[in-house]
Chain A
Amino acid sequence: MAYSCGDGEDGNDSNRTPQPEDSGPTTFDSQLTPAERSALSSSLDKLETIEINGNRIKGFTKIFGGATSADVINYFNTRVHYFISEATDYTTRLVPASLVPVRRLEVFASNPSVFIWYEAKYNEPEDLRFQLNNEQLEINSSRIGVMQVGDIFNQSDVITQAITLVHEARHSDCTGGALASDIQNFHDNGTIENKKCGYLHGFCPLAGSCDVIPWGAYAIDVIYSLAISETCTSCTEAEKQSAEANALQFINNAYELSATVNGEFGDPDMSSSNTVR
């Protein structure tokens, strides 16, 4: 097994096309169902148009780089570029197929971006790509940004959908780069140690799935939800109630959120690296 480490501080490999950091509008896979397309269109629209003031929620501007929906869209577009259906086994989209073990990954992931990247790194110097529509996409980092949606997403109200998009986007970040041992372990169905690559959830006895590090996906999810419930001026009361219910549900799934927003763990690192160490 051979894999390469990235070059330079940002890990850019001069032989590969850098992953776009801000590619603008996302691409829908041809196999998305009409319901999935419709849900995505309306939730992306809501994400863009909702009027909120992040200055009134602790941690918001540090996460999103600003206080408005334009900043949230920028955060999102940097991390998610492609949508595929929940019914699509993303491993079947990795080409050439001969490089990918014939097994169904049991890891539940609505954003499998980091796992797609791990497979690509594992197979280097072979060039593994991701097939979407008529293109074979290069896989240069966890910010390839492939997100899956399905029935649960489709059946949720648009505010819950928008919050889910923001939550899932965080899973595209691999802060500090990947561990070589994790790439091997992932391939071998072993334990992944570095949770910061993909901001992977752990298991908490009372809350179930949870963040195990500060500023994880649940933290961002809750902070965004509170911005909606407490500051939205374009929302219906039902939308605000939905957002507040979400925040109350997942506050305890975030890692020590009070201490986090009060600075005890420093500011959030919103960067991502494709280095391997």
Chain B
Amino acid sequence: MKKKNVYLLSLSLLIISTVFFLGKRLSNTAHMENTGQERTYASTTKAYTPQRMTEKPDVKNKTKNQLSTITKKDLKDLRDTFPDQNKVKEEVSNNPHSTPKSLTIFANKMGPLMEKAYNQKSDAQLLAGELINCANDKSVALSARALCASNMEKLSKVHPTVNAKINIDPEVQQLLNKKKSFLVE
């Protein structure tokens, strides 16, 4: 009798648990059917892949780099061509009939950067920093310094927010003023 009772009890528990789990699934399926979607439930035993953490992108810099076409390398390359005043003197001494080579290299490097700077304010601001360095660097040939100062003035006319009011060496300013005196107003 006892054996029989135990058997019946186990069977009952089995039936009840089966009905319970089966019923839950049917209920969810019905819910899904009501929503008109078919979905597959992920198994809870699926392997968990931790999310890869990345630094929050610096939106400001990214935006700046996307807009500017003058690069840090461009500015470094320009700086590397600043004509040394002693070298220019030597070149003039060797050939008084032609523009010193180091000056023409500098001018040709400057050209494309000025084009970009005319077209984009952010480029103008980048280049302006280098132009100021050039204009105030006493080791650079005077004519090159004056060219830098002249370019600053030109940029500030196109992009008024690029500040042209910098302290220019009087000797550089004098040369610049002399050049401007030949222009018919």
Query: Which residues of A are in contact with B by a Cβ distance under 8 Å?
Result: 55-59, 108, 110, 152-153, 155-157, 160, 163-164, 167-168, 201, 208-209, 222-223, 226, 230, 236-242, 244-253, 257-258, 261
Complex contacts, A236 vs chain B, CB 8 Å: 111, 115
| Residue of A153, A164, A168, A242 touching B111 (CB-CB under 8 A) | A242
| Residue of A57, A163, A251, A252 touching B99 (CB-CB under 8 A) | A163
| Residue of B88, B111, B141, B178 touching A241 (CB-CB under 8 A) | B111
In the complex, the chain B residue whose C-beta lies closest to that of A54 is B184
Flag if B111 contacts A59 (CB, 8 Å).
no
Given contacts A152-B98, A249-B103, is CB(A208)–CB(B184) below 8 Å? no
Q: Decide if B8 is an interface residue (CB 8 Å cutoff).
A: no
Which stretch, B18-26, B61-69, B89-97, touches the partner chain A? B89-97
Given contacts A226-B179, A244-B150, is CB(A238)–CB(B107) below 8 Å? yes
Flag if A241 contacts B110 (CB, 8 Å).
yes
A207–B1 alpha-carbon span in the complex (Å): 129
Given contacts A156-B98, A163-B99, A245-B143, is CB(A240)–CB(B182) below 8 Å? no
Flag if A156 contacts B111 (CB, 8 Å).
no
Whole-angstrom distance between the Cβ of A39 and the nearest chain B Cβ? 12
Chain B interface secondary structure, helix, strand, loop or mixed? helix
In the complex, the chain A residue whose C-beta lies closest to that of B178 is A251
Which range contains the number of B residues in contact with the other chain?
A: 35 or more
**Contact sample, A vs B, 9 pairs, CB 8 Å cutoff:** A56-B183, A208-B89, A237-B112, A238-B108, A242-B111, A244-B107, A245-B147, A248-B147, A257-B178
Whole-angstrom distance between the Cβ of B35 and the nearest chain A Cβ? 64
Q: Decide if B126 is an interface residue (CB 8 Å cutoff).
A: no
Instruction: List 16 other contacts, CB 8 Å, given A157-B104, A261-B182.
Output: A56-B183, A155-B101, A156-B98, A157-B108, A163-B99, A201-B96, A236-B115, A238-B110, A238-B112, A241-B107, A241-B111, A242-B108, A245-B103, A251-B179, A258-B178, A258-B182
In the complex, the chain A residue whose C-beta lies closest to that of B96 is A209
In the complex, the chain B residue whose C-beta lies closest to that of A248 is B143
Complex contacts, A242 vs chain B, CB 8 Å: 99, 104, 107-108, 111
Complex contacts, A230 vs chain B, CB 8 Å: 183
| Residue of A108, A153, A244, A261 touching B147 (CB-CB under 8 A) | A244
Q: Decide if B152 is an interface residue (CB 8 Å cutoff).
A: no
Residue from B95, B99, B151, B179 having most chain A Cβ neighbours under 10 A: B99
Whole-angstrom distance between the Cβ of B2 and the nearest chain A Cβ? 106
Complex contacts, B97 vs chain A, CB 8 Å: 110, 164, 167-168, 209
In the complex, the chain A residue whose C-beta lies closest to that of B94 is A152
A81–B107 alpha-carbon span in the complex (Å): 31
* Interface positions of B from 73 to 113, Cβ below 8 Å from A: 88-89, 92-93, 95-101, 103-104, 106-108, 110-112
Q: Decide if B181 is an interface residue (CB 8 Å cutoff).
A: yes
| Residue of B104, B114, B146 touching A237 (CB-CB under 8 A) | B114
Complex contacts, B108 vs chain A, CB 8 Å: 157, 238, 241-242
Flag if A238 contacts B182 (CB, 8 Å).
no
Residue from A163, A237, A240, A258 having most chain B Cβ neighbours under 10 A: A237
Whole-angstrom distance between the Cβ of B86 and the nearest chain A Cβ? 13
Residue from A55, A58, A251 having most chain B Cβ neighbours under 10 A: A251
Q: Decide if B168 is an interface residue (CB 8 Å cutoff).
A: no
| A-B pairs, 8 with minimum CB distance | A238-B111, A209-B96, A248-B143, A241-B107, A249-B143, A245-B107, A237-B111, A246-B99
